[in-house]
Amino acid sequence: MKRLFVAMVAVLVFLSPARAFDFTAPQSGRISFAVAKLLEQYHYRQAKLDDPMSEKFLLMYLNALDYNHLIFLQSDVDEFTSIYGKKLDDSLLAGTAEPAFAMFDRYLQRLAECRKIVDKVLLKPFDFTVDESFVPARNKVPWPKDTPEAETLWQLRIKYELLQGRLNKEKPEETIKLIGRRYARLEKTMREFDAEEILQSYLSSLSHSYDPHSEYLSPTEAANFRIQTISLSLSGIGAQLEWDDGNTKIRSLVPGGPAALSKLLKPNDKIVAVAQDEDEMVDVVEMRLNKVVGMIRGKRGTKVRLLIIPASAPDTKKEIFLVRDEIKLKEQFAKARMIEHPGPDGKLHRLGVIALPQFYDNCSKHVEKLMARLKEDKMEGLILDLRNNGGGLLDEAVKLTGLFINKGPVVQVKDHRSIKVLDDRIDAMSYDGPMVVMVNKLSASASEITAAALQDYGRAVLVGDLATHGKGTVQTVLDLDQAIRTEDVPNPGQLKMTVSKFYRVIGSTTQKQGVTPDVVLPSLYDYLDIGEASLENCLSADSINAVPFTHSGSVTNCFAELNKRSKVRVEGSKDFAYLKVDIDEIKKRQDDKSVSLSEPKRLAEKKSQKERTDARKKERLSRKSTQDKILELTLEMVDNKLPMLPIEQIKKDKDPDLEAVPVPKHDVDDPEADADAEPDARFDPQLDEGVFVLQDYTELLHAPLDHEKVALTK
């Protein structure tokens, strides 16, 4: 259930307009037929929708509904395999989606039975001194064979959740109520799924049978996809919402949005009713988050009325109205910093950092604008931070790479028929100085294109995890109304489909294997199953011929010395020492995924963890303040010709009402998600080391080449 449930609750404010699309059975069938035929004909795999694909599709759908194998019984799975295992392909091509709804109905039946088991188990006393264990992540183990085995599993599951409450020092009766409401809410939520949402899960499971990045986008998800990954703008009131035990709450306000400017809404305020302009108020208590958001969002310039319970006055209700406007999601825009870093010569050197969270429309222009300002302010070297950047628009990756190379090929794109080379055609560099690119295991797709090209051209030193994510595939989004008559289905949604793979200019692929940095740093991500290779049905790695290009940098001359110096610093770093301890803990968990249900044992583990955390905090507070002065630069500051400001001053001047409220992690499938301490965001040892590497690289470029110290690696 995890994937489906998490996707549902994580949508926050970035959802589609209020219009609902509850497809009829014939409409669902027409959409299913169109998606099936398009995948057969145009997906990169060029795989027939046959019996083996049908069996794979069935398992993908069952896992989408019941990710942790706690709801269905093995008898259900066996029955579905017997009926649909070799028939889902036939039903799709016959233009029916009936199996999707039949299996979903069985899921609801089993979910109701599980809820009854939960209610019964919650009435039982538990002995928390017994040394037994539970494996929360059950997605790779069989479903319970029958009802008695299911009851045993749920008993362990509930004991696991009750123990979490005890460890968090909650009152037992409150924990019992919380767990009861959690599963009642889950059942209620799933029963409210409409045809659009069921079809979204069903046809995405079909798409995932071809590869993990293809999916069906229902009308709601299609609008959401464009907002989040392309335009980074929406029309609404500028508030992020969260669902909290039946209530829609304000999580945070977008600076400059209607809600923030009005001063009428604050974080933690509850929205209890919504109306369009002068229409009658609609009660939204216990209403699903996506429905509430759909009611609040709307066209720019229109009015929405909200009935709220202010967090500062929980016994009162207040009606407010706001005029919707276009909201730019500026937190996802590129940002820059200037770091004044002391060098070995005793002088302060000005090093720029540009962080790009994703490749959105016009992001290359934004980076160029920030870079021009940093150059004006005497930047001596640049770090392009692509960590956690999951990709985005392919053409933006090409444009961004072109800022740092003279004209030439950037990436090769191969579909099932031909190979196309995407070039930078501008014979000039916006920046030709020393450069470091920071990457990690979450740097994917377009990030890997840029990082790989800059590495191949010798234009930058890559610093980061053992390898990047390994997503070397390209998706296109097809409007299904091009394949289905609009009189049959007015808005059938879209199909995001993998149609090609990209390759480096040297001919190798990043698919599945990623990009290997020149300077590798310790990272927790290297020990988690989060790369492309861990995804089901991912495409294989291969290679094609290289294309001619001009190696334009001298970075390879410095690798040996850069690694030597970095290794010395990492081995002497307290923060990297802490990281190595955390890595050892991760390795232990990977070896044994079970969790103890013994309270004394868990208390001892918790005490040990707290002691480690407190010791780290104490040691960090005792350190002398860093000599680096950090200045912040945003696109607004560039546009308004404002001076860069020290990061401490920006934090101090920020309106506290606009600060995001942390979201409690109470995923039904991972109630212990908040048990591990979050890393202190003020400490970023990887970026700190990236600054040192850039400083070293700048120094080596300007120093006479000593062949005894600097080994050529290429």
Average pLDDT, the chain: 87
pLDDT (mean) for 642-652: 77
Share of the chain above pLDDT 90, in %: 67
481 within some domain? no
pLDDT beyond 90 at 214? yes
pLDDT(90) > 60: yes
Q: Cβ distance 692 to 339 under 8 Å?
A: no
Are 194 and 241 within one domain?
no
Residue 498 lies in a domain: no
Do 258 and 278 share a domain, yes or no? Answer: yes
- The letter for the amino acid at 414 is K
Tell me, what's the pLDDT at 231?
Answer: 55
| pLDDT score at 385 | 98
Return the pLDDT at 227.
66
Residues 161-186: tens digit of each pLDDT: 999 999 988 899 999 998 998 899 89
CATH code, domain with 291: 2.30.42.10
Q: Are residues 324 and 353 in the same domain?
A: no
Hey, what amino acid is at 710? V
Summarize the confidence of residues 624-629 as an average pLDDT. 73
Q: Return the SS3 of 383.
A: strand
Q: Is the pLDDT of residue 354 over 90?
A: yes
**CA 408/CA 549 separation, integer angstroms:** 6
Of the pLDDT bands very low, low, confident and very high (cuts 50, 70, 90), residue 683 is: confident
Same domain, yes or no, for 14 and 34?
yes
Question: What are the DSSP calls for 69-129, one per residue?
Answer: S-SS-HHHHHHHHHHHTTTHHHHHHTT--HHHHHHHHHHHHHHHHHHHHHHHHTTS---TT
CA distance 405 to 397: 13
Q: In the chain, how many domains are there? A: 3
The answer to the question of residue 181 being in a domain is yes
pLDDT in tens, 478-524: 999 999 988 889 899 999 999 999 999 999 999 999 999 999 999 99
Q: Which residue has the higher pLDDT, 647 or 33?
A: 33
Q: What is the predicted pLDDT for the residue at 290?
A: 78
Residues 217 and 238 in one domain: no
33 CA to centre of own chain: 30
Q: Are residues 178 and 39 in the same domain?
A: yes
Distance CA 455, CA 445 (A): 15
The residue ranking higher by pLDDT, 105 or 284, is 105
Task: Report, as residue numbers or ranges, the catalytic residues.
Answer: 445, 456, 471
Helix (H, G, I), strand (E, B) or coil at 282: strand
Identify whether 190 is part of a domain. Answer: yes
Domain assignment of residue 172, yes or no: yes
Model pLDDT for residues 453-473, shown as the tens digit of each residue: 999 999 999 999 999 999 999
What's the pLDDT score for residue 60? 98
Over 50: is that where the pLDDT of 711 sits? no
497 in a structural domain: no
Assign 232 a pLDDT band (cuts: 50, 70, 90): low
Q: What is the pLDDT of residues 37-76, one digit of tens each?
A: 999 999 999 999 999 999 999 999 999 999 999 999 999 9
Which pLDDT band holds residue 92 (cuts at 50, 70, 90)? very high
Verify that 438 and 317 share a domain, yes or no. Answer: no
pLDDT in tens, 527-569: 988 999 999 999 999 999 999 999 877 777 899 999 999 999 9
> DSSP character for 333?
S
User: Among 285-294, 385-394, 600-609, 698-707, which stretch is predicted with the lowest mean pLDDT?
Assistant: 698-707
Same domain for 240 and 218? no
pLDDT at site 641: 94
Which residues are paired to 305 by β-bridges? 275, 321
The C-alpha atoms of residue 681 and residue 243 are separated, in whole angstroms, by 25
The pTM for the full model equals: 0.82
Domain holding 159, by residue range, is 2-224
In a shared domain, residues 407 and 431: yes
Do residues 220 and 113 share a domain?
A: yes
- Would you give the DSSP letter of residue 642? P
Mean pLDDT calculated for residue range 199-209: 97
Question: pLDDT-derived band of residue 330, with 50, 70 and 90 as boundaries?
Answer: confident
What whole-number distance in Å separates Cα of residue 14 and Cα of residue 154? Answer: 34
CATH number, domain of 614, equals 3.90.226.10
Q: Do 145 and 260 lie in a common domain? A: no
Domain final residue, candidates 163, 193, 224: 224
Tell me what pLDDT residue 17 has: 34
Q: Among residues of the chain, what percentage have pLDDT more than 70?
A: 88
Domain boundary among 275, 296, 328: 328
Express each pLDDT in 375-427 by its tens digit.
Answer: 999 999 999 999 999 998 999 999 999 999 999 999 999 998 999 999 999 98
Contact 280, 291 (CB under 8 A): no
The mean pLDDT value for 252-262 works out to 80
The pLDDT, as a whole number, for residue 6 is 26
Residue that terminates a domain, selected from 273, 305, 328: 328
Give the pLDDT score at 257.
Answer: 80
Would you say residue 427 lies in a domain?
Answer: yes
Model confidence at 312, pLDDT cuts 50, 70, 90, reads confident
Q: HSE (CB half, 13 Å, CA atoms) of 607?
A: 6
φ, ψ (nearest 5 deg) of residue 216 = -85, 135
With a cut of 50, say whether residue 710 has pLDDT above it: no
Category of 611 on φ-ψ map: left (φ > 0), alpha (ψ -120 to 50) or beta = alpha
| 561 close to 518: Cβ distance less than 8 angstroms | no
Tens-place pLDDT, residues 444-457: 999 999 999 999 99
**25 vs 232, residue with greater confidence:** 25
Domain co-membership, 269 together with 183: no
Q: What is the rounded CA–CA span in Å between residue 349 and residue 338?
A: 10
Q: What is the Cα–Cα distance from 367 to 376, expressed in whole angstroms?
A: 14
Q: Counting beta carbons within 10 angstroms of the beta carbon of residue 389, is it exposed (0 to 12), middle (13 to 18) or buried (19 or more)?
A: buried
Task: Look at residue 9 and tell me whether its pLDDT is greater than 70.
Answer: no
Residue 13 CA neighbour count, 13 Å, CB half: 24
Classify residue 600: in a domain, yes or no: yes
